[in-house]
A and B are shown apart, each in its own frame.
Chain A
Amino acid sequence: DQQVKQNSPSLSVQEGRISILNCDYTNSMFDYFLWYKKYPAEGPTFLISISSIKDKNEDGRFTVFLNKSAKHLSLHIVPSQPGDSAVYFCAASGTYKYIFGTGTRLKVLA
């Protein structure tokens, strides 16, 4: 049973436009969420996190939104840049470990 789902395996966006990556979760006990970015043959790098006591967190071009009632979070990248092309994983935690989604491959077109 996949507790964290990223239903879009891929997304293409024009450079300069907004990229919106989505993530849904099923466990209401999750209270901390993270986004990671991963390039091929490399380890994921941490992007941004959000606690369940917030509904928004911003860091530069990256903003994460959390809708607890819908059990949904999204990552907005504005403006999108070609270097943002990578696989993005969301992760959720409520205990000692994180549950990762399957990832969304973002391609930013120049």
Chain B
Amino acid sequence: DGGITQSPKYLFRKEGQNVTLSCEQNLNHDAMYWYRQDPGQGLRLIYYSQIVNDFQKGDIAEGYSVSREKKESFPLTVTSAQKNPTAFYLCASSIYGGIHNEQFFGPGTRLTVL
């Protein structure tokens, strides 16, 4: 089955620690995205990558970092510099970057900072 997987589903972190969220897709999509969802808000773009070895900041990139060394993988690191990291994180992919492409989402990771 083709799709996007995110792990873990729930993640707890102590304040001051970095944590990495996994995102893998086997859809052969070029573009991948990371969003954050907070209660009462829409999805906000953190980072996106239109092709391997290239990525761009989204609207709320501060305190986050990414890498795109492989087409199928786009891990997100939440660093200690992120002031309010507790949220639901969603990874998505599309067949190629740019507009007019549906994005397919993974199941999400809920991160809680203790």
Contact = CB atoms under 8 A, between A and B. Distances in A.
12 contacts: A2-B42, A42-B107, A43-B90, A46-B104, A93-B99, A96-B48, A96-B98, A97-B45, A97-B48, A100-B42, A102-B42, A103-B42
B90 A44 contact: yes
B63 interface: no
User: Number of contact residues on B: which range applies?
Assistant: 20 to 34
A44 B105 contact: yes
A65 interface: no
B110 interface: yes
Interface string A24-35: 000000011010
Given A41-B108, A43-B4, A43-B106, A93 B41 contact: no
A2 B48 CA distance: 20
Contacts of A9: 40
Contacts of A102: 40-42
B103 to A, nearest CB: 7
Interface residues of A, number: 28
A36 B99 CA distance: 16
B9 to A, nearest CB: 8
B43 interface: yes
Among B40, B43, B98, B100, find the residue whose CB has the most chain A CB atoms closer than 10 A.
B43
Nearest to A39: B107
B108 A42 contact: yes
B1 interface: no
Interface string A7-37: 0010000000000000000000001101010
> Which 10 residue pairs are nearest across A and B when measured between Cβ atoms?
A43-B105, A100-B42, A100-B43, A46-B102, A93-B99, A102-B42, A44-B105, A32-B100, A43-B107, A43-B106
